[in-house]
Structure 1
């Protein structure tokens, strides 16, 4: 396999290698715009405020913050920092259980590379059949009708659910986060998309449920009775405090309880009762107004600004085809997105729900933890620069089993409980947090935190706001405003949250934040210790799960191990695989943390890494695989004898398109680059053993 020159990785604004076109279609080019959070919430150490407080606007009963102008992008620092010395003795001779594999070296190949002794195969990719009548994929003859029966685009989260009584049979549930039309349609004109292209893109969003069978060649799709496509316009039911409120009513849905579709489904979670959760993330980018539309009313403008919704033509121009994406025609439509959705994959006729009791923001996903007494705790990150960490604690207890009565009960658990936002603090002196990432005198970044209650939800959508001046419906629909007012801590893009099933500790991927410490933005603090943070960090939380207090540590401060501003849990940094831009998290049965990356800032393809969490190996980081050029690693699933990842947006490059590709993965030859799910297994036994 020939190497692709590294200069194809055009650095986006001097930061990660994620291409600009990916930013445009994945998140609405958020990194080129001012951060939506203009609150002046306090920082650690009582640091002087860098942002002047703007007056609170009382709008429709909700206290909202007007959005100010943002700072210019900071230039990428070229200062050379001295190599850091290890904070531990030489690496232990024996790797931890589950991590006994040869690390894959950083590379730029147009392939999935795995360790020696492992096999791989593609499970299913964009356009492959999901339903029995699906036609064979033909990139030159796509139709919306076909796409509604085929695997969608840009797979992200994945869940693998064993089918009771069927050995080696599973349900593979996969979300389809977004579409990049230049890499879908030959001859695509972004200034003049067609109605058919709009309909195909809509059908390529959502989720796929596919029965798969474990074979000697990996996982193979089966045309099973559970197979299903949930598209960007499939029916959903809105439940909780937002349902029926004036904020979500539209002409098409005057009751405010039935939503057409789900968009930008990023990470997710699996519930113990057998359903799948999916987070609606960068929904803001799908909405716009035609050129010449009068300015938005101040109330609407402020609400939209806080969520990054622009009163201008969208990049996709979907507002040209459907009035629900026209902000002037249907201003409440964006308020119907940004929730955690729940799908029952065991009932193909069921209608998925959107849980507004869990708040509305740019949900990366929802990691579930169940306490000893059956209380369900969902941990959630709001994936935006300077936004927040949340958790939802149920007031109902989980019932065991998947019989109809238990399922009916458990599928309402996420509608009744309390939503919290996190406020972090630290005893580390402010003088030791200077934005360089240098370790404090204590040798690690640590602190404590408090979960601040925002909203308490009761049966039938009844609720109580726990923030003065904000109604329950406002707290459910405009959750960011409630969290601003509560004084939450601004974080560096909080993404995937997962609880360790072995120890109960909770982990959060903070992907990066190039605006940290820039003019007018929050400076570094103990949990976000670097200005111009290109490579991100991983937070470890010891939580009083159903309570309101926690301790935190930074497990990893990611980046070049030779740089002084990185930290690998105290492990010898000469013995680790470099990791940058952590995104999705998973655990193996040995208690090791697995991390997939998005936007590696170290001139290598993104990958999947295993990290030891306990004992002398704590912080040891090993790269298990890399994905093709231009791709992101998503949705890792780690079992004792199988690893799967979703390869998202292979070949996306600012200077290419489907007509001028830099990637042909997975087909090779003259094939079309297609997002796909990949399975990896060991020839002679268990993963990492």
Structure 2
């Protein structure tokens, strides 16, 4: 049973705050989304407006057993370490042991700081050669041709695929480009050279690189010699294909692709996941910012563009990268359906450099964050997903057919047929007890029950007035119509491989008003975010109902508006803006942060979710100045932790001529987004 939620007060945060992000980050990562009107203007009820459900139902759900869960066992030669098999438990200490390290103190240092007894090193940096014929990186002599063969810009989600004890493949997302830090003298997309725009297009996407272990340690290095036959770059110009119910539909057809089957490239890939058969699921997020000409689309389409954060009153939004200057498809006035070809989960096979990436339409279209897979009790595949924007939703997809270990041809069709659901949460307290002041309800805890509402299954729509194709292409609109619950920026959604609970990172939402507060989002002007814990009925990923509670309410532990699962707050580390989450072999929750609103660098934290140390959150590392902590990934043997250090030096006023960070190369070098690895100097498990 989950521990009770906080007792006492959570004071109202009254000052609007955009968190700890710089203006550069806001502009290039999401197109200044927080300064624009909120896309979700639906009148869905908030928790406080929902009639209290029977306590007996909530009690029954909360006592569901937290048994073992079978997750992603690769049927082929390769399985991502992020999805350990249930069969491994009992042979490597699952659920046993404890965390023993001295927490890193919050700081503003321009380095990657790790605990005593640990070391860190960059593994691969922006511009490092990926393909064998790639040239060495030269900051002042970049070309699009070179960038398409080199490691891309801002790295985010990482996945690790062992090729044996000492070799592995690493997949890395390249979320977005920051031209103001990539090019000297850059002002905007209109004044940029065409070559700079082409470089930016090539810097998006993802990379597959081959790694080798350094001796017998937990350190891994980039393989720089030999054929490197798996290495690959995916960019915004890589040919792809659609699959699933919406493929070939009218909403995906363009002049260049009249059949609606062959999209080009992927954009703004943030988090992701892996499959039991050893492929990557990478999530397209803030794709809306790359398009111009929204004012020139057909009138009937404008409501959908607005719902996805695209201006329909301005031809060229402020800060636009102007990709349309080199590729006309980014002008919606000329190609109104091109934007519908982005915002999907993309499946990529890291072991086949020639395989065409697949955009899986059955998983819906929104600002995707994560695609964490698991299995139901009867063996069907499940993918949990978040929509990373203010007042957006939490989703899951459940396949129609069952996963069959080793039957690769069958398994690769599982993501094309199934049911897409959206979450509706219900608090168990009366409306007047949830007022946004942070005062806990009379039962002393923020918790309740919920249900997964079906949106679409194959060609069958469950949403009145919308076809199946419309539900999949305009998923946000469909979720509005069925009354899904508005959340505080749902980012990563991960299932714990030990206890089976689902953890949702809710990064922040400074726009929530007291009237909009609810039990799962209890703070108005929520600038620090929180983590929500879901226990599905019978601990079955295929269940339609669940119980939920707050596991962590972030911020300064000295602030009464924080909660650490009931643990003594004098012994925990401060944390702000949870972003991505991961788990080690013991089921401890690892949390990376994005936009620390406490005035310190972002970092990586770990917190037990069961036992007497539940809620004992400690900071494991901090990233350099201006950077965000992405990933994270703990290898299956618990000997290494990978973090993607995204946008180091992305601070207000920084330029290539006046950089605010010199990480990772030091001296007077330019900052370079990089993936780093951390390991214990004596070969011990991470955190122990």
- The TM-score, its normalising length taken from structure 1, stands at 0.87
Matched, 1:227 2:231: yes
Partner of residue 326 from structure 1, selected from 297, 311, 331? 331
Deviations 1:280-306 (A, max 9, x none): 0000000012xxx96543212111000
Tell me the equivalent position of 1:249: 253
CA distance in 2, matches of 1:574, 1:452: 40
C-alpha deviations, 1:464-509, integer Å up to 9, x for none? 1111111011001001111100010000000101000001111000
1:487-542 alpha-carbon deviations (Å, 9 max, x no partner): 10000000101000001111000000010017xxx610000000000000101000
Summarize the Cα distance change of 1:261–1:443 in structure 2 as closer, same or farther, 3 Å threshold: same
Shift of 1:96: 8.6
1:516 counterpart residue number: 512
Instruction: Please report how far the alpha carbon of residue 438 of structure 1 lies from its aligned counterpart in structure 2 after TM superposition.
Output: 2.8
Checking the alignment, whether the CA contact within 8 Å between 2:205 and 2:234 is kept in structure 1 is yes
Moved over 4 A (4+): none
Which position in structure 1 is the counterpart of 2:165?
A: 167
CA distance in 2 between counterparts of 1:410 and 1:96 reads 33
State how far apart, in whole Å, the 2-side matches of 1:672 and 1:411 are.
Answer: 42
Contact 2:377/2:542 (<8 A) preserved = no
Deviation at residue 45 of structure 1 after TM alignment = 3.0
Aligned positions of 1:50-69 closer than 5 A? none
Give the distance between the partners of 1:265 and 1:326, measured in 2 at CA.
21
Give the alignment's Cα RMSD to 1 decimal. 1.6
Matched, 1:46 2:39: no
Q: Which residue of 2 aligns with 1:112?
A: 112
| Corresponding residue to 1:287 among 286, 291, 295 | 291
> Contact 1:437 / 1:566 at 8 angstroms: preserved in 2?
no
1:600 matched to 2:596: yes
TM-score, normalised with respect to structure 2: 0.87
Structure 1 range deviating more: 409-418 or 582-591: 409-418
Match of 2:193 in 1: 194
User: Helix, strand or coil for the counterpart of 1:153?
Assistant: coil
- Asked if structure 1 preserves the Cα contact closer than 8 Å seen for 2:527 and 2:597, the reply is yes
**CA distance, structure 2, for counterparts of residue 168 and residue 370 of structure 1:** 29
Structure 2 counterpart of 1:273, from 268, 272, 277:
277
Indicate conservation of the 8 Å contact 2:39/2:308, yes or no: yes
Provide the C-alpha distance between the structure 2 equivalents of 1:254 and 1:679, rounded to a whole number of angstroms.
45
Q: Any residues of structure 2 matched to 1:283-322 within 5 Å, and which?
A: 283-289=287-293, 295-311=296-312, 312-314=315-317, 315-322=320-327
Tell me if 1:18 matches 2:14. Answer: no
State the aligned residue count. Answer: 615
> Distance between the aligned counterparts of 2:113 and 2:301, measured in 1?
48
1:551 aligns with 2:547: yes
1:550 is displaced (CA, Å) by: 0.5
Counterpart CA distance in 2 for 1:102 and 1:428 is 39
Which structure 2 segments of 5+ residues have no match? 1-14, 52-94
Return the offset for 1:184: 0.5
Task: Please point out which of 380, 395, 398 is paired with 1:375.
Answer: 380
After superposition, residues 211-222 of structure 1 pair within 5 angstroms as 211-216=210-215, 218-222=219-223
Contact 2:18 2:34 (8 Å CA) reproduced: no
Mapped pair 1:423 → 2:424: yes
Whole-angstrom CA distance in 2 between matches of 1:547 and 1:614: 23
**Would you say the 8 A contact 1:649–1:675 is kept in 2?**
yes
Establish whether residue 542 from structure 1 lines up as the match of residue 535 from structure 2.
yes
Aligned to 2:364, which of 355, 359, 366?
359
Give the equivalent residue in structure 2 for 1:679: 677
Residue of structure 1 aligned with 2:566, choices 567, 570, 587: 570
Moved more, 658-667 or 426-435: 426-435
Using the TM superposition, give the Cα deviation of residue 328 of structure 1 relative to its aligned residue in structure 2, in angstroms. Answer: 0.2
Listed as ranges, the matches of 1:617-636 within 5 Å are 617-636=613-632
Contact 2:198–2:326 (CA under 8 A) maintained in structure 1? no
1:650-681 per-residue CA deviation (whole Å, 9 max, x = no partner) reads 00112111221111111111111000001000
SS at match of 1:423: strand
Rate the CA distance shift 1:526–1:253 in 2: closer, same or farther, 3 A: same
SS in 2 for 1:259: coil
For residues 87-108 of structure 1, what are the alpha-carbon distances to aligned partners after superposition, in whole Å with 9 as ceiling and x for unaligned?
xxxxxxxx99352111000000
- Structure-2 residue corresponding to 1:397: 402
Q: 1:33 aligns with which of 31, 36, 39?
A: 36
